[in-house]
Amino acid sequence: MKHPIYLQVIIAALALSLVGYVGILSWNAYASHRTIGQPENVRDTLSVSGTAKISVKPDIARLSIGVVSTGSSVSATQKQNTEKMNAITDAIKGFGVKDDDIQTSNYNIYPQYDYTDGRQVLRGYQVSQQLSVKVRNLETIGDIIARAGELGSNDVGGVSFEVDDTTALQKQARDKAIADAKEKAEVLARSLGMRLGKAVSFSEDSGSYPVPIMYNSYDKVAMEAGSRAPSPDIQSGSLDVAKSVSITFEIQ
C-alpha cells in the first residue's frame, strides 16, 4: 500500500532529524574525550610586585585654637569668651587666612560646682570655644599661635601638617610602582630565557596616604598669663606617599 506523498515527506524529515541528533551526540562525546587533560588557552605567565614611595613637603597646616572662659553667669561668661574669640579670628585673617579656612569646631557651656559637706553648690560657668584653622602659608604658623596667645587663647591643640591634594602624588607613586614591577619582570624573564609579553592582570593596594605630623609646642603658661611669648619654631618636616602593585605578564 502506498502512503500519500505528504506522509512520505514527514517520515523522511523525521529520519533526517534523528540522524542529525545522533551525529551531534557522537561529536560531543568525541570532543569531550579529545580535550580531557588538554585545557585550552593555557598561557605561561610571570607574576611580580612593584613598590614606590615619594617624600613630599606638606603644603598646609591645621591648628586648633580655643578660648576657655569662666564666670558667675552664663551671659557674662559667653560675652567674655566671644569678645576674645572674635579678636583672635580677626587676627588670624590678618595673616592671610581666608574665611573658608576658619571653622568653629567646638562650643560648650558647662556649670561648675563646689562640693561642701556632701552638698553640690553652683560656683559658676565655663564656656569653651575652639576654631579649626587651615593655614596655607606655613611660615605664619608660629606668629599665628603667638598672636592668639596674646589675645587670650588658652587652649591650643596640636598642629598637624598635611598635603592638601594627594591625587597627583598617588598617580606619580603608582606609575613608579608599575615601572618597578615591569623592570623586575624583564630581569626575571631574561634569566629564564623567556621574552616578556603583555600584562594580563593588574591590582594595587589602597595606597599609603600622608599621615599628618602633629606638634604640641606652645607655652600654655605664657598663654594663660596673657604675656608676650616668642613665636614657636615649628618645622613641617616631610610626608611619604607609598603605593604597591601586582602585575601578571605573559612570557614566551
pLDDT at residue 38, rounded to an integer: 41
pLDDT at 8: 55
DSSP state of 208: B
Name the residue type at position 152. Answer: G
User: pLDDT category, 191, cuts 50, 70, 90?
Assistant: very high
Q: What would the CATH number be for the domain defined by 59-163+212-237?
A: 3.30.70.2970
| Three-class secondary structure of residue 46 per DSSP | strand
Question: What's the pLDDT at 157?
Answer: 83
Query: Among 67-71, 141-145, 204-208, where is mean pLDDT lowest?
Result: 204-208
φ, ψ of residue 2 in degrees (nearest 5) = -85, 135
Report the pLDDT value the prediction gives residue 239, as an integer from 0 to 100: 86
Is 169 within 8 Å of 57 (Cβ atoms)?
Answer: no
Cell triple for residue 39?
A: 585545557
The domain ranges of the chain are 1-42, 45-55+168-207+245-251, 59-163+212-237
Q: What is the pLDDT of residue 31?
A: 47
Q: For the sheet with 239-251, list strands across it.
A: 45-56, 239-251, 196-204
40-68 mean pLDDT: 89
pLDDT class of 117 with cuts at 50, 70, 90 = confident
> DSSP secondary-structure letter at 15?
H
